[in-house]
Amino acid sequence: MHKGMHTRDFEWDFTLYPRYTQRVHVSAGTCAPTCKLRAFLGCKRVLRETSAIIPAMPKDIQHTNLKLAPYESILTQYKSDSQTTVVPNATSGATLIKKLDDQQDIEMLKIPNDDIYRGKTNISPKQLADAQSLPRRDLHQTVSPVELGDLWLDEFNTLEKRRKKRAGVDDQSLFKQEKNLSFQDSFYTPFPVILVIHASVGSGHRSAAIAVAQSLEHMRDQQLPAYPDGSPLDKNTHIAILDILAWGDRQYNGDKAASMFTGASRPIYDLTWRYTFTGRILWSGGTFLNYMVWRKFTRFIGHIKPQAVITTHIMGANMAAGARMICRQTYPLVCVPTDYETEGLWPHKACDTFCVATEAMTETLRARKIEEERIRITGIPVREGFSISYDREEVRKEFDLPEDKHVILMLAGAYLAQPYVNLRATIDAALPSCKDLKNTVFCVVCGRDEEYKARLEALCKENNLTNVMVMGYVKKMAQLMSASDLIVCKSGGLTVTECLCSKSPMLLVGRAYGQEKVNVNMLTGEGAAMHVTTPRELVDAVAELEAHPERIQAMLTNTNIIRRPNAARDVSKIALRLSCATANQRRMWRPKKNNIFDFYIGHKPAHVR
């Protein structure tokens, strides 16, 4: 709007979904031909850029309350001069609004229903083709949260390319040009959105995100009490899982990034994890990466306006906190560390609640000046199935496992293979020495890595290992773990938590660095696991446990003390409770300013690392 231009205000009430009503305030210049209210609406399954054309002259327009309900069109009544044309369609309810501007034609199709696909609307062939390419808006009922997040990413990438081409600028210039228009738009999506963010560095963060999303889906689909007043989630709530590394301006390979704590740089990573912002100088949060690298994600948050954000990785937490400050939103941010200690790069002041696994983690956060009401001991979320008790005999029959022998399950496969390189090398070296353990059966799970599975089968055939079973990807992993006497695995946070929830003693393998070292110390200190570092130690430990099975029973008793199988449900309810709080209540502890870098001074650290 030009400087000094006289303006008039309009206010409309948008009823978006049952729990929320938003008043939209629009200022339009009397000399301007149009005022564009930009929005991102969920059109069938994904987001679609739309515009509401508002004639500038107040005397030329009659407006009423606009109602937005799920799966309905935006019904708009415009009466203006001859330049504005409203094309209603009585059959489909679709409305095409066309306003001739001095520079270009602005056309918009308002959420058409299925009639538009049958050619019953008075629109151009190009608009019909665009509408037919839009997926169904209720696709969240038939796809998983992971698939929904991927679909949104694809659609947003397409929209970004169109915007850059239309503006004729690069990404940085586009970010500067349209920042205010994109981020401070007061228009909301016509359905609630809950985002669960992870980073594909290792498999644990993704597994925890899936567990939380499954819990939210279960509450939504079964209409269980979700909010403090006992009301359920809206049936049209969209729950999406986002990989924050895929939302950067460049694509980052999380599997390669995981090599820093599996390769030669492990000692350096260990020092970085233990001492980066874990002393008196602490990290509060900042927006520099939002401006430099995650501009696309920030624009997405500005348009989608989530009801709540739950994140299982520090990168997702920092980007969500920065986007919230830039976009001037108030959604709650729930941080869920997926290990048994809290590293220093979480946005401590920007996070609304930390959901941690143990009391020791709360002591760490208290020393960082995190208020008591922002700390909850929930455990680490695990997927559905690990909190259920299974019939061991039936499971062993299903997997063709002997009932009269010890079954040792070796977990050597996951969604990302890089963190398992050292564990696989130890297993390959130890298995030939285990052929004499006649009362023990080794079941090795390789996941979807067919190459490793073939190599392991060749090793068993070469050494005549008759007491070794090699499996690929196992869908019923919770059942298989519950039917095992002992699990050999690495000390990742999600892996050991799944073992705890399935009531399975553990034999942790490999030198531990960073967060895995903390996990090892916690589990061995509680008596729920043993730890070995070499193939020889692994063989000796298995032989010792075969000779003294009472040691396995002792570890099993200790796992029952520290297991928390309902963590995903508890995290979900905490996020939903925070979403009901007022904006002022949520702003109490957040940074007051939008700082590029934000640090603060904490108390003496509770634990020496």
Q: For strand 406-411 and strand 375-377, is the pairing parallel, antiparallel, or unpaired?
A: unpaired
378 vs 143: which has the higher pLDDT: 378
pLDDT score at 118: 31
* CATH homologous superfamily of 392-562: Glycogen Phosphorylase B; (3.40.50.2000)
Average per-residue pLDDT for the chain: 75
How far from 347 is each of 149, 161, 322, 337, CA to CA, in Å? 23, 31, 9, 12
Q: What is the mean pLDDT of residues 329-358?
A: 94
pLDDT score at 171: 53
- The predicted-structure confidence for 510-549, as pLDDT tens digits, reads as follows 888 889 999 999 999 999 999 999 999 999 999 999 989 8
- List, in sequence order, every residue forming a beta bridge with 260; answer none if it has no partner: none
Give me the helix-helix angle, 450-463 and 421-430, nearest 10°: 10
- The predicted-structure confidence for 27-86, as pLDDT tens digits, reads as follows 333 333 222 333 333 322 222 333 333 333 233 333 333 333 222 232 233 233 333 333
Q: Are 55 and 84 in contact (CB under 8 A)?
A: yes
Q: How many CB atoms lie within 10 A of CB 269?
A: 17
- The predicted-structure confidence for 558-604, as pLDDT tens digits, reads as follows 988 889 999 999 999 999 999 988 777 776 667 777 788 899 999 99
- Structure tokens given for 191: 């359905």
- List, in sequence order, every residue forming a beta bridge with 13; answer none if it has no partner: 23
pLDDT(106) > 50: no
Taking the CA of residue 522 as centre, how many other CA atoms within 13 Å lie in the half-sphere pointing to its CB?
A: 24
CA distance 282 to 368: 7
**Residue 135 identity (one-letter amino acid):** P
pLDDT score at 249: 82
Give me the helix-helix angle, 567-579 and 204-222, nearest 10°: 70
- The predicted-structure confidence for 395-444, as pLDDT tens digits, reads as follows 999 999 998 899 999 999 876 666 788 899 999 999 999 988 888 999 99
Report which listed range, 14-28, 164-178, 570-584, is most confident: 570-584
- The predicted-structure confidence for 231-243, as pLDDT tens digits, reads as follows 999 988 999 999 9
* Helix (H), strand (E) at residue 320: helix 314-327
How far from 409 is each of 441, 458, 506, CA to CA, in Å? 8, 19, 10
Q: What is the mean pLDDT of residues 171-184?
A: 47
- Structure tokens given for 535: 């193939």
pLDDT(105) > 60: no
Rounded to 10 degrees, what is the CA torsion of 293, 295, 297, 298? Answer: 130
CA distance 36 to 185: 11
- The predicted-structure confidence for 298-334, as pLDDT tens digits, reads as follows 888 887 889 999 999 999 999 999 999 988 888 999 9
pLDDT score at 251: 77
pLDDT score at 185: 39
H helices of 57-202, where?
Answer: 125-133, 145-167, 171-177, 179-183
- Structure tokens given for 351: 């996070």
- Structure tokens given for 583: 């904006």
Contacts of 561 by beta carbon, 8 Å cutoff, 6+ apart: 526, 528
- Structure tokens given for 460: 């068993």
Q: Are 518 and 340 in contact (CB under 8 A)?
A: yes
CA distance 490 to 202: 12
pLDDT score at 564: 93
> The CATH number of 177-382+569-601 is which of 1.10.3710, 3.40.50, 1.10.1660, 2.40.128?
3.40.50
Nearest to 51 by CA among 33, 28, 32, 74: 74
Q: Are 443 and 410 in contact (CB under 8 A)?
A: yes
Q: Are 571 and 308 in contact (CB under 8 A)?
A: no
Q: Are 121 and 114 in contact (CB under 8 A)?
A: no
Q: What is the mean pLDDT of residues 454-472?
A: 93
- The predicted-structure confidence for 261-307, as pLDDT tens digits, reads as follows 666 778 888 888 889 999 999 999 889 999 888 988 988 888 788 99
Q: Are 70 and 191 in contact (CB under 8 A)?
A: yes
- Give the Cα-Cα-Cα angle 11, 106, 183 (nearest 5 degrees): 50
First-residue to last-residue Cα distance in the chain: 56
pLDDT score at 296: 86
| Segments of 413-454 assigned E as strands | 440-445
Contacts of 490 by beta carbon, 8 Å cutoff, 6+ apart: 411, 419, 420, 422, 423, 508, 509, 510, 516
CA distance 46 to 41: 8
Where, residue-wise, is CATH 3.40.50.2000 in the chain?
392-562
Contacts of 373 by beta carbon, 8 Å cutoff, 6+ apart: none
- The predicted-structure confidence for 108-149, as pLDDT tens digits, reads as follows 223 333 332 233 334 444 444 443 343 345 566 678 899 899
